[in-house]
A and B are shown apart, each in its own frame.
Chain A
Amino acid sequence: MQRSALAEFLRRNGLLVGFALFVVIVAFDAPAMLGMNNVLSVLRQISIVGVIAIGVTFVVVTERLDLSVGSGLTLLTVLVVEQHNALGPGGAIFMTLLAGAAIGAWNGLLIGYFRLNALIVTLAMLSLLQGLTLWYSGGANVNIQGASESWFPVIGRGALFGIPVPIWVLLATAVAASILLGRSRFGRSVFAVGGNETASNFSGIDSRAVVFFAYVISGVATALGAIIMGSRVLGAQSTIGQGYELTILAGIIIGGTSLLGGTGSIWRTVLGVAMLGFLNNGLLLMGYAYYVQWLVTWVVIIAAVWIDLAAKRGRILA
Chain B
Amino acid sequence: MNPADTNAGAQPEHHSAYRAALIDIVLRNQIWGFLLLAVILFSTASPFFLTVNNLANVLTQGAFIGLLAIGMTLVIINGEIDLSVGATMALALALAIGLQNSGFGPGTAILAALATGAFLGFLNGAVVVLSGMHSFVVTLGGLLGIRGLVFLYTEGDALMIADFTYTELVEIYLGPISLTAMVFLGLIVLFQWVLSNTRHGREAFAVGDNIEAARDAGIRVGRHKIINFTLCGLLAAVCGVLLSMRMGTAEPQAGRIWELWAIIAVVLGGTRLQGGYGSLWKTLGGVLTLAVVQNGLRLLNTPNYVELIVMGGVLILALGLDRILTYKIRAGRT
Contact = CB atoms under 8 A, between A and B. Distances in A.
Interface of A: 67, 110, 114-117, 119-121, 123-135, 139, 246, 249-250, 253, 259-260, 289, 291-295, 297-299, 301-302, 305-306, 309-310, 313, 317-318
Contact of B309 (A132, A289, A302): A132
A294 B131 contact: no
B165 to A, nearest CB: 31
A249 B140 contact: yes
23 contacts: A114-B323, A119-B273, A123-B263, A123-B264, A124-B316, A125-B312, A126-B312, A128-B312, A130-B305, A139-B304, A292-B148, A294-B147, A295-B148, A298-B144, A298-B148, A301-B140, A301-B141, A302-B133, A302-B137, A302-B141, A305-B131, A306-B133, A317-B132
Interface size on B, as a range, is 35 or more
Interface in B140-189: 140-149, 151-152, 155-156
B3 interface: no
B134 A259 contact: yes
A239 to B, nearest CB: 11
A318 B305 contact: no
B140 A120 contact: no
A232 to B, nearest CB: 24
Nearest to B311: A127
A246 B256 CA distance: 12
Question: How would you classify the secondary structure of chain A's contact residues: helix, strand, loop or mixed?
Answer: helix
Given A117-B319, A291-B148, A309-B132, A123 B305 contact: no
Given A294-B144, A294-B151, A132 B137 contact: no
Contacts of B311: 124, 127-128, 131
Interface string B58-76: 0000000000000000000
Interface string B280-314: 00000000000000000000000111111111110
Nearest to A67: B260
B267 interface: yes
5 pairs of A and B residues whose beta carbons are closest in the complex: A298-B145, A318-B132, A128-B312, A131-B308, A294-B148
Given A297-B144, A298-B145, A116 B137 contact: no
B140 A131 contact: no
B194 to A, nearest CB: 26
A67 B143 CA distance: 14
A121 B316 CA distance: 6
Contacts of B136: 259
B134 A131 contact: no
Contact of B137 (A133, A259, A293, A299): A259
A123 B315 contact: yes
B8 interface: no
Given A123-B263, A250-B140, A259-B134, A110 B156 contact: no
B320 A298 contact: no
Contact of A246 (B140, B308, B315): B140
Nearest to B260: A123
Contact of A124 (B148, B303, B312): B312
Contacts of A313: 132
Given A120-B319, A124-B315, A259-B136, A317 B305 contact: no
B214 interface: no
Given A120-B315, A123-B264, A291-B148, A298 B141 contact: yes
A63 B317 CA distance: 23
A259 B149 CA distance: 26
A274 B334 CA distance: 53
Contact of B143 (A127, A130, A246): A246
A301 B273 contact: no
Nearest to B133: A305
A241 to B, nearest CB: 13
B137 A134 contact: no
Given A305-B137, A317-B131, 19 more contacts: A116-B316, A117-B267, A119-B273, A120-B319, A124-B312, A126-B257, A127-B308, A127-B312, A128-B313, A129-B312, A289-B155, A291-B147, A291-B151, A294-B144, A295-B148, A299-B141, A299-B145, A302-B133, A318-B130
